[in-house]
């Protein structure tokens, strides 16, 4: 190989490396903005760009029934108020319960789900998980617990036909605002996660109703699970 060719090739690789690093750092730069800017999820953006239906009305956490916040916490992430974006105990238990690395499930916190929805892609992937974990720690460090849950409850897919967020889901399923859900309706929405396409809260089947009843009882026993939402942090 001619020396001149090698000298010309190195800057190209450096440029490519810098470009990759810049892309990886974008979520970290955007996170502080999300303390005041209401974000759009990657799935919502993809559906919009491909002409699919997207229904969302952003509402502050103060305009969402507290029963929904509590139901989602007890259903998805019982230690939401005490961990720092990732739940090491849940991850360890998920690994211990799995037959092998390819069978690992669970252990994903609300914060992890929020950063996945905002910055990454759907589906199981070691690459995605490796990107997700440090992002969740950063997200939890920069944003308050209230803001994290507020973002999650506004961008989570909660309907079978492009309904995103609590407000759109409540109006579709129950005909009224997310501010007036009550325990059972809140538990139904929480139970529809993570697959609202097959778990239709407008026409809940026996399995979904049983799961909602479980979350309703669990929320009634564990009001302290949402204690951090009442704090400034």
Judged on CB neighbours under 10 Å (0-12, 13-18, 19+), 226 is: buried
**From residue 95, how far is each of 89, 113, 124, 130, 207 by CA, in Å?**
10, 18, 15, 15, 27
CATH 3.30.1360.30 fits 38-230, yes or no: no
Q: What does DSSP assign to residue 195?
A: -
Kindly give the interhelix angle for 110-119 and 145-155, rounded to the nearest 10 degrees.
60
Apex 225 CA angle, 180 and 72, nearest 5: 50
| Cβ atoms of residues 170 and 178 within 8 Å | yes
Distance between CA atoms of 193 and 157, rounded to whole angstroms? 8
Per-residue pLDDT 10s for the chain (233 aa) are: 455 545 555 578 787 777 777 778 899 999 999 999 999 999 999 999 999 999 999 999 999 999 999 999 999 999 999 999 999 887 666 555 544 444 444 568 999 999 999 999 887 778 888 999 999 999 999 999 999 999 999 999 999 999 999 999 999 999 999 999 999 999 999 999 989 999 999 999 999 999 999 999 999 999 999 999 985 54
CA distances, 22 to each of 19, 51, 92, 113, 223 (Å):
5, 29, 32, 23, 42
Residues comprising the chain, all counted? 233
In this structure, what token pair is assigned to residue 229?
A: 């939402």
Domain positions in the chain: 38-230
117: tokens are: 């929805």
Take residue 11 and report the two structure tokens written for it. 């800057």
């Amino acid at each position: 190989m001619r020396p001149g060719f090698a000298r010309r090739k190195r800057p190209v690789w450096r440029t490519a490396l810098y470009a990759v690093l810049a892309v990886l750092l974008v979520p970290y730069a955007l996170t502080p903005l999300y303390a005041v800017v209401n974000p759009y999820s990657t799935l919502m953006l993809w559906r919009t760009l491909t002409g699919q239906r997207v229904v969302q009305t952003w509402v502050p956490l103060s305009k969402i029934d507290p029963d929904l916040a509590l139901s989602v916490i007890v259903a998805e992430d019982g230690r939401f108020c005490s961990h720092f974006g990732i739940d090491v105990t849940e991850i360890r238990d998920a690994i211990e319960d799995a037959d092998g690395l390819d069978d690992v499930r669970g252990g994903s916190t609300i914060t992890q789900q929020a950063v996945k929805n905002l910055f990454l892609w759907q589906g199981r992937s070691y690459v995605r998980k490796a990107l997700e974990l440090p992002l969740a720690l950063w997200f939890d460090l920069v944003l308050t617990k209230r803001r994290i849950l507020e973002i999650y409850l506004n961008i989570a897919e909660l309907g079978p036909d492009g309904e995103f967020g609590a407000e759109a889901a409540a109006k579709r399923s129950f005909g009224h605002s997310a501010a007036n859900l009550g325990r059972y309706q809140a538990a139904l929405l929480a139970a529809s996660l993570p697959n609202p396409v097959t778990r239709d809260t407008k026409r809940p089947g026996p399995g979904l109703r049983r799961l909602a009843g479980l979350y309703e009882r669990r929320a009634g026993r564990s009001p302290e699970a949402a204690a951090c939402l009442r704090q400034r942090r």
